[in-house]
Chain A
Amino acid sequence: MKKLVIACILSAFTTITTSQHAHAAEQGDIEALRQDIEELKKQLDTSQTPTSSQASLNPAISLILMGRFASFDNDPENYAIPGVTLPEETDPGKEGFSLAETELIISGNIDDKFFGRFTTALTAENEIEIEEAFVQTLGLPAGFGIQFGRFYSEIGYLNKIHAHYWDFVDQPLVYRAYLGNQYNDDGIQLRWLAPTDLFLEFGGEAFSGDSFPASRPSNESVGSYSLFMKLGGDVGISHSWQAGLSYLAIQAENRETENGDVSFSGDDNLIIADLVWKWAPAGNDSRTSLVFQAEYFNSTEQGDYTIIGNGTNPVDRNKDGWYAQLIYKFLPRWRTGLRYDRLSIEDSGSTFNGTSLDTQGHTPERVSAMLDFSHSEYSRFRLQYNHDESYAVADNQWYLQYIMSLGAHGAHRF
């Protein structure tokens, strides 16, 4: 045995020495092999030290601490947009200190075919709510993807974006008025990504219809459907964009709202067009960037409005609105932004005078300005001012907000 080993070593040695003479280039190869052996030794050393393999199998956990101080001229308890039937939790929030929208997110790959995410949030009413609990496929062929559970609908641009990624403290008025800030529900989604250089994605969703603006009729199993299409790409190295068109069809039965004075039964169809355009010199947004974002909403309600205690009347009314915003990063850690909001609501006739449907001839509008500072990628402070004419009486609103993220690294979403 010993002899054999010696023979092997000798023969290896002679092979090495002869080849050394033969080709100078192979000397480099031997050098590389020697380094590889040292490398392996190093790896062996590190593998012997206890590693946190258990920890790496745990899902990614991230905790978002969000809170704010708010000051308003008007009493937010009296918040109402004339002509709009607002659902709960859509007012400008509590005055003073509050912990709105603190989130705990747990996510990870379930196996090689599925990804799952669970998000729970503290609402303005100090209640714990499950915002998301969904499973997404990773391995379907031909660009198909399926997602099921509770999730934010893919309609519009901002609908699926979590509060800690927003550029302002609050949602645009169109989201507040027509989707109750954001539409999430229990359901299923199918999407298909085209195999083209231009980003082109189509999808559809079916939801139980248990959250605003849906209000599922008791004899139906599906209360809302959506269709969406997105396209996007780059223009040169410094510009990138995404545009979308989406449609949400809901059926409602006795949809009540925060005021509680009217309820709606019938069809509510919503169309959203969205555009985002981003610019950063050479595509490097760590120092300077400019982001333009705008969305247009058009909603048609056809059915019956019941004035509680005062009879039912047929209604066919159209509401629309839009917002546009510009966010400018002027220093590595500083951003400033401007936003303009506007709604226009068709009057429902004199039958509804004095109810939530009464527009009082008012055009809801709002102008917002913000300045934020991020010490690192994980912490941000924001100051925001709104001149809010969505009320019948104009309001001046000030917010000072903090957004802190602990744990797993967040996503740099577009």
Chain B
Amino acid sequence: MHGITLMLKMLATSLLLLFVALPVSATMNVFACEPEWASLVEELGGEEVKVFSATTAQQDPHRIQARPSLIAKMRRADLAVCTGANLEIGWLPVLLRRAANPKVQPGQPGYFAATQHVSLLDKPTRLDRAEGDIHAAGDPHVHLNPHNITRIARALTNTMATIDPQNAVSYQQNRDDFLRRWQQAIKRWEDRAESLRNLPVVTQHKSWTYLLDWLGMQEVARLEPKPGIPPSTAYLGQVLESLQHKSANAILVANYQSPKPAKWLQQRTGIPIIMLPYTIGGSNDADNLFRLFDMTLEQLQTGVKP
């Protein structure tokens, strides 16, 4: 009997120690599914938030596993900022369920899906897996049109102010400051990108829809036969043949994608490959949203075949 009491005491003491040792912080914990949203949260939240990015630019956001470390992070999040539109369908629902954090469940203020605040391009007309790994709601890679960032920044500020009303004024000030700089930058980018208008390019995956739409560039061929299905040599042969009839000035590849299919095509056509950062951290220089677009435009302008 004495032994049991002692054990219970020890258990209670260790649990108490565990709770005491936990950092009690007033800052808002934000779980960002992708680095672009982590960067946006940093712009809007400033000192008031602590943000964690679940993925890096080297990882394919479609193919993440619900790792233990991600469950642990989601458990402590006050806000989850994700792309939505089924981009994270393979892992986010599992994370949310395993973490069982009531604050960030879908439908709660702490669950923010960026794609709900912009209109999506390329909504499939035929919902059939024979079309590949399609997204029913439309193309989710929305962050590469800076006007979308503007809209998402506004909506995200409102969400952050709802969750953390004490710092609402600070978030709104940060937003105004960010948007002022952002609008100036958009003007600069758009002036600079005039030369890229109507330029035909080959893409690897449907990751560039919004970038091409914004800059008015043309996608003339895609290396993936269907979204999410890697190209076979036979399919690349077809792409090669199609390029006999129409020209392309560049092959766009994201940092996380395999460069092999693009290299295959480059060797046979001489069309230059442009490795674009795609998101924050996709190249050393692309360390915030401004630099991401600076770098993307710079790569495009220096990389395309004249």
Contacts and interface: CB of A to CB of B under 8 A. Distances in A.
Interface stretch (B39-47, B59-67, B266-274): B59-67
A35 B179 CA distance: 14
B91 A144 contact: no
A2 to B, nearest CB: 33
**Interface range on chain A (Cβ under 8 Å from partner):** 35 or more
Contact of A28 (B72, B119, B180): B180
Contacts, number: 145
Given A28-B184, A283-B59, A412 B76 contact: no
Contacts of A143: 75, 100-101
B98 to A, nearest CB: 8
Contact of B180 (A25, A234, A286): A25
Contact of B132 (A32, A140, A376): A376
Given A115-B97, A377-B228, A412 B91 contact: yes
A195 B100 contact: no
A166 to B, nearest CB: 16
Nearest to A145: B100
Contacts of B56: 237, 282-283
Residue in A196, A287, A410, A411 whose Cβ sees the most chain B Cβ within 10 Å: A411
Given A31-B183, A138-B102, A139-B102, A378 B129 contact: yes
A380 B226 CA distance: 17
Contact of B91 (A115, A193, A198, A411): A411
B180 A232 contact: no
Contacts of A282: 56, 58-59
A240 interface: yes
A28 B183 contact: yes
A196 B183 contact: no
Contact of A284 (B60, B72, B75, B229): B60
A233 interface: yes
Nearest to A24: B184
Contacts of B76: 195
Contacts of B91: 411-412
B66 A193 contact: no
B150 interface: yes
A100 to B, nearest CB: 24
Given A197-B72, A332-B258, A377 B133 contact: yes
Contacts of A145: 100
A376 B93 CA distance: 21
B68 A376 contact: no
A112 interface: yes
Contacts of A194: 18, 72
B187 interface: yes
Contact of A232 (B67, B90, B105): B67
B183 A409 contact: no
Contacts of A42: 119
Contact of B68 (A115, A139, A230, A287): A230
B102 A199 contact: no
A162 interface: no
B230 interface: yes
B100 A193 contact: yes
A109 B111 CA distance: 15
Contact of B179 (A29, A115, A137): A29
A233 B69 contact: yes
B147 A35 contact: yes
B68 A199 contact: yes
Contacts of A411: 66, 90-91, 93-94
A129 interface: no
Contacts of B60: 284, 286
A412 B107 contact: no
A242 interface: yes
A311 B272 CA distance: 83
A237 B66 CA distance: 15
A29 B183 contact: yes
A268 to B, nearest CB: 25
A109 B258 CA distance: 36
A44 to B, nearest CB: 10
Q: Which 3 A-B pairs have the closest CB atoms?
A: A28-B183, A232-B68, A199-B68
Interface of B: 18, 22, 56, 58-60, 63-69, 71-73, 75-76, 86, 89-91, 93-94, 96-102, 105-108, 118-119, 129, 132-133, 147, 150-151, 179-180, 183-184, 186-187, 226, 228-230, 256, 258
Given A36-B151, A283-B59, A376-B129, 11 more contacts: A25-B184, A39-B151, A231-B68, A241-B68, A278-B65, A282-B58, A332-B230, A332-B258, A376-B132, A409-B86, A414-B67
